[in-house]
Structures are given as C-alpha cells and as structure tokens.
Structure 1
C-alpha cells in the first residue's frame, strides 16, 4: 500500500463530498474547533473502508490510521480525516495485536469528543480485550485516569464482551463502584449503557446490582440501566431512587 497516496485520496474524496451547511451544523452540534467538510457518516465510512478493501498489513493499517489522524488544515485537525482513521482501524481491527492498545490510548488522549472516542473504545479496544483478556489490566488503570475520555473508554471497552455472551462481571461490578459517584455526564451515560446491554442477557444481575445502589446511582445511569428490564423491576428501581 502507498500509505501517503491512499491517505491523500481519502482526503480528496471526503473534501469533494462535503456540504458547507452540514459542516457548520456539525461543528455547532459537536462544539468543535476542528475543520469540518460536512460529509454524512455513511458516505465517510464508505470512503474510509475503501482504503483498506484490499487486505493491508498490520503496519500499513497503523500507518494509514496515523497519517489520517494527523491531517490538519490551517493549523486545525480535520474532523473527517480523524473519523476515517477510526473507521479503518475498526474495519481491520482483526489485524491489530495487544501492543496496539497503546495506539488506541494515544488517539483517545488526543480526542476531545465522544464522536472519536466511542468507536475506538468499543470496536478497537473492546475487541482487543475480548481476544486478549490480559489487556483488561490496561482498563483497570484507565478507569481511574484523570482524563475523562480515558475513563469512558475503560467502561465502553466492556461492551463487546457483554455482546458476545462473555461479560466481565467482575470488572463491570468494580468499575461501576469506582464510577458511581462520577459527575461527568459522559461517564454516567457509558456506565448505564453497559448495564442496559447486560440486562438483555442477565436482567437479574443488573436488577440486583442497581437495587443495592439505588441511593447513590445517578439518574442518567439508572434510566439507561432499567430501559430493557421487565417493567415491574424497572418501576421498583426508579421508585427506590426517588425515595
């Protein structure tokens, strides 16, 4: 793969599909100071995935992602280029190995929005943790990290295990207790999402966990956690928090 050439092609295709009005609306919605072209997500994903349609090597994949991530225009990162970097990693996540959790961490630390973090957290880090369970030790460190987006990554990286039927209940329990007093909305929401997803497969565990913490769990987390629970259990948990 000609990494530089492929990155330039992706960038040119994205720029050609941009919509200035959409770009302005997107910048406002994301509270972003990045450069935005205004490309809809499905179109952006199609362009990005085309870059790795032919099977790249792991080194080519990482080099392409790093090149796209580093694109700037007038001194500012380009939103669509960063999104494309995430998409190529997600598409070929099977090529990545345990050491690539460092690349994911670096991208998250260089992020300031859920729009980049969530795909990395769930579909890159989370998939790596499913394949290499020892990487859970990285999540143990991240859940106490001062940077909010790293903490969110630690939580959302538990989702793939839940979805494949192998939930890490020990970490869900422990991370939940670590983060239950969080003031950050994005952490509260992430914890709720993990509990909601787990409730589809193990509603009893979620009900018991939430009920024991009804006095301290945030409303944001609770509302997500009970969304898929049986109506009777959800109603009892909501009422317990109100009391």
Structure 2
C-alpha cells in the first residue's frame, strides 16, 4: 500500500491532542457509553484539524488516503488502547477524501465499520464515505448487499444508511431500498430499526407514496420505532 507523508498522521494527532479537554472527555465518554480513551475534542475542532491537514496534503490517491486513515485508527493512546478522536479523525479524513475512493475502498472501510462499535463513528462512515462511493460507483452495490445480510448489525445499519446520499440527491436506488426494507422489516436490533425508519423518512420527502405503500404492505410487522421515524415528515398517518 502506498504510504502517505510520514509526518501527516503524527501532525494531525498532535493537533488533536492540543485541543484535549478532560472534563468534556468524561461527559463524551459517558454519553457514548464508550470503552475508548477520549480526549474531549469538539466536532468543529476535530473537523478543522482534518481540513487543515487535507489542504496541506492536497489531492492524494486512494491508497495513500486509506493508509493515513489506518494509521490514525490504530494509533494508541496514553494507556495503549485506541483513542476515540484518532478514530474519528480517520473517519473524517475518509469523508473529506471520499471523491478519491471507489468501490475497492469499501473493503478497508468495512474493516473499520466492524471495529467502530458506536453510531457516532459508524454513521458518518456509512453515509458520507460508503454512501458517497455508492452514489458514483455501481460496483459498490454488491458490497452493500452483503452488508445488509451480515451478522454484524452495524454492517446492516451501514447498508441502509449508505442509501441516503442517493435519496437526498433525488437519485434513489429504489430497488435496493425495497429489498433492504423488506429483508429488515422483522429486525430486532434497535439501531437497525432506527436506521430503517430514518431512510424511509428521508424517502418520504420526495416519494411519500413509496413509504405509505411499504408501511401498508407490511402492516403490523413494522416495528413501532421504525414506523414513528418513517411517518415523521408525512402529512397524514
């Protein structure tokens, strides 16, 4: 794999560490029920750090981007364990460089998704990285299909959320959405039920008939959580 400039990951980690706030770190860790080490950096702060590094690096090929993300993801904290903000920086880097990636990048992305273990990392990686790739590269479709049937519920959630960029752009993959929604209507996992409702809610903005027809077709099989989310933007029901 192509290596990024050796100083890039270290410089980004140092910039993130300089923003550490121990009191906020404790609140953040409790809110996310996280087992990672937290530094207590805010969203705008971390995003700013990644943006500055990206502007310094300029355009980079996918192998370099993936290598830099892997370096950030694996970097240990003071106690030797993973650091939430380093992993978050890896996700943000992949989001900001999503245009440089194609479906072949979804293999490494899948590896990260399996290790995220929290919606706070899964969701941006699924929507703004995997979803952005899927909107441009049809070869991503079979990867999402496999995720939708994966035993890991974070992968199932990711398959659903990766459909959002197409829905929001007015280019929904209606066939894939139908297959996923039908397959997951009996889902027992909270985070998948919530994601299904979220995707249906976004779909209802442009295609309310699709959502009402799907809800009518499945009736009482639809979990109350999914239905509440799905109808939130509908005028009736």
Q: TM-score range by the shorter chain?
A: over 0.9
**Alpha-carbon offset, residue 25 of structure 1:** 0.6
**Alpha-carbon offset, residue 92 of structure 1:** 1.1
TM alignment of 1:198-217, pairs within 5 A: 198-217=203-222
* Residue 19 (structure 2) pairs with residue 17 (structure 1): yes
2:29 to 18, 21, 27: 27
SS in 2 for 1:173: helix
What residue ranges of structure 2 are gaps of 5+ in the alignment?
A: none
In structure 1, the partner of 2:102 is: 97
TM alignment of 1:5-154, pairs within 5 A: 5-53=7-55, 54-73=58-77, 74-154=79-159
What residue ranges of structure 1 are gaps of 5+ in the alignment?
A: 235-243
**Alpha-carbon offset, residue 33 of structure 1:** 1.4
- Cα-Cα RMSD: 1.3
SS in 2 for 1:56: coil
* Distance in 1 (alpha carbons) for counterparts of 2:185 and 2:4: 47
SS in 1 for 2:149: coil
**Alpha-carbon offset, residue 13 of structure 1:** 1.1
* Distance in 1 (alpha carbons) for counterparts of 2:5 and 2:219: 52
Equivalent pairs, count = 232
* Distance in 2 (alpha carbons) for counterparts of 1:133 and 1:2: 28
**Alpha-carbon offset, residue 2 of structure 1:** 5.6
Q: Is the 8 A contact 2:9 2:68 kept in 1?
A: yes
Q: Is the 8 A contact 1:3 1:63 kept in 2?
A: no
* Distance in 2 (alpha carbons) for counterparts of 1:57 and 1:181: 41
Q: Is the 8 A contact 1:189 1:221 kept in 2?
A: yes
Q: Is the 8 A contact 1:51 1:88 kept in 2?
A: no
